[in-house]
Every structure is written in C-alpha cells, then in structure tokens.
C-alpha cells in the first residue's frame, strides 16, 4: 500500500516535470490574447503544479523520508531557544 503510494507520487513528479515544457507544441507559433499558446500552457501548468504540491503536502508529506515504525526516539537533540516544533507528524492543519 505504502509502496504503491510512493510509486504514485514519483509518477506524478515525473509527469509534472515532463510537461512543464509543452513538447507537443514544438514549433507552434499560435498567439492567444497577446502571448504564444505554449506560454499559456506553461503558466497554467505551473498553477496546476502548485495545487498538486499543496495536495501532496496535505496528504502524503513525509512519504519516503519519515520512518514508518513507531520507535519512540522522539528527540535526539537538545532544542535551542525559541525553536518551534510540529505537534505530530502527518495530516496536520495548514
């Protein structure tokens, strides 16, 4: 289950990076509203990327990095003054 989810997000990352440049519009010079259509695609795609990153941060943050086992090695380091800490991992409020 966890592996599938990791694979899904890796695929998402590859697609996001792969279509940032609209390769299928190569050579196209169509202009819409004063800008080349490939530039509009890029602007829209970056907006989409932003939404995808936000969803990732809410739903899957920590995947592939945080260890899943609940071994309680809670705090390896003495905190400096004024250091904030998240109350817990995963699924926190924005």
Partner 1 sequence: MRAVTLQLTIIVGYLLIALAIGLVAYRLTERTAEDFYLASRTLGTVVLLFTTFATLLSAFTFFAGPNIAYAQGPEWILVMGLMDGIIFAILWYVIGYKQWLLGQQYGYVTLGEMLGDRFGSRWLRGLVAGISLVWLFPYVMLQQVGAGTALEALTDGTVSYELGAGLITVFMILYVVAAGMRGVAWTDTLQGAFMLVTTWVALLWVLATVGGPSAATAALASSPDTAGFLSLGSSYYTPQWMLSTAITIGFGVAMFPQVNQRFFAAGSKAVLKRSLALWPILCVLLFVPSFMLGAWAAGLEVAIPEGANVLPLILDAYTPTWFAALIIAGAMAAMMSSSDSMLLSGSSYFTRDLYRPFVDRGLSDSREGLLARGGVAIFATAAFVASLFQPATLFELGNAAFSGFAQLALPVLLALYWRKITRAGITTGILASQGFYMASLFVAAVPGSYAGWSAGLVGMGLGLLVTVVVSLVTSPAADEQRAIYFDGLGAD
Please tell me whether residue 1 binds partner 1 under the rule CB under 8 A: no
Please tell me whether residue 28 binds partner 1 under the rule CB under 8 A: yes
Give whichever of 1 and 76 is closer to partner 1, judged by the CB atom.
76
- Least distance in angstroms from the C-beta of 18 to partner 1: 9
Residue with tokens 């309680």: 72
Residue of the chain from 5, 6, 53, 91 that contacts partner 1 (CB under 8 A): 53
Residue with tokens 């609940």: 70
Give whichever of 1 and 70 is closer to partner 1, judged by the CB atom.
70
């Amino acid at each position: 289950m966890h592996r599938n989810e990791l694979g899904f997000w890796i695929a998402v990352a590859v697609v996001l990076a792969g279509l940032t440049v609209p390769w299928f519009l190569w050579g196209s010079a169509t202009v819409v509203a004063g800008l080349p259509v490939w530039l509009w695609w890029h602007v829209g795609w970056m907006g989409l990327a932003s939404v995808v990153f936000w969803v990732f941060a809410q739903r899957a943050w920590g995947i592939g990095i945080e260890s899943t086992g609940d071994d309680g090695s809670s705090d390896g380091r003495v905190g400096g003054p004024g250091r904030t800490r998240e109350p817990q991992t995963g699924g926190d409020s924005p």
